[in-house]
Amino acid sequence: MCGITGVMQFQDGVRVEPETLRQMCDAMVHRGPDDEGIYTAGSVGIGMRRLSIVDLATGHQPLSNEDGTVWIVFNGEIYNHTSLREKLQSLGHQYRTHSDTETIIHLYEEYGPDCVQHLRGMFAFAIWDQRRQRLFIARDRLGIKPLYYQLTSQRIILGSEIKVILAFPGSGPGFDRAALPEYLAFGYLS
């Protein structure tokens, strides 16, 4: 079990501080006691707590592509990453690790958001694309790996647990009255 977090500020000049991401990662230290990593670039930051299972030596995250313009934090397992890796290497992608995380980032470089169509497994991830100034977040179709987010006019905050979002300064729980009828009718929110 690992955990991811991230923030993207929408207001000009508002930066994501590394200490804020560390606080958010600290809220989920139980999800990944082996390693922590953060990446910030102005108004965007992503972070990760890791339980080392695959690629113990070089699986540190956040992980970037070859030129450092695309960054990822990932929680999960991609079952078909070996066959995807072979295809991506034949297209010219160079791997630095043996992790399935790196396969996702190269898939994103090839297919953009459609990269998820190629993945078989359980996953939640956030990709920061510096070139396009895009934060792309995704989770597996069944939601096996959790991914929560809070979207406001000022920012998006994401995390593997709700308490990670609540660890963001000034973020607090709220009640969405408009969602109540759906919850009472179906027992969950989509």
Contact 130, 107 (CB under 8 A): no
Q: Distance between CA 180 and CA 90 in Å, rounded?
A: 50
Q: Does residue 26 carry a pLDDT above 90?
A: yes
DSSP 18: H
Confidence at residue 34, expressed as pLDDT on a 0 to 100 scale? 79
**Number of C-alpha atoms within 13 angstroms, CB side, residue 88?**
23
Residues marked as catalytic: 2
- The more confident residue out of 37 and 60 is 37
Report pTM. 0.89
Confidence at residue 190, expressed as pLDDT on a 0 to 100 scale? 72
Q: Please state, rounded to an integer, the average pLDDT across all residues of the chain.
A: 92
Confidence at residue 58, expressed as pLDDT on a 0 to 100 scale? 61
Q: Does residue 56 carry a pLDDT above 70?
A: no
Confidence at residue 35, expressed as pLDDT on a 0 to 100 scale? 82
Contact 29, 179 (CB under 8 A): no
Worst-scoring range by mean pLDDT, 15-19, 68-72, 97-101? 97-101
> DSSP assignment of 141-168, as one string?
TT--S--EEEE-SSEEEEESSHHHHHTS
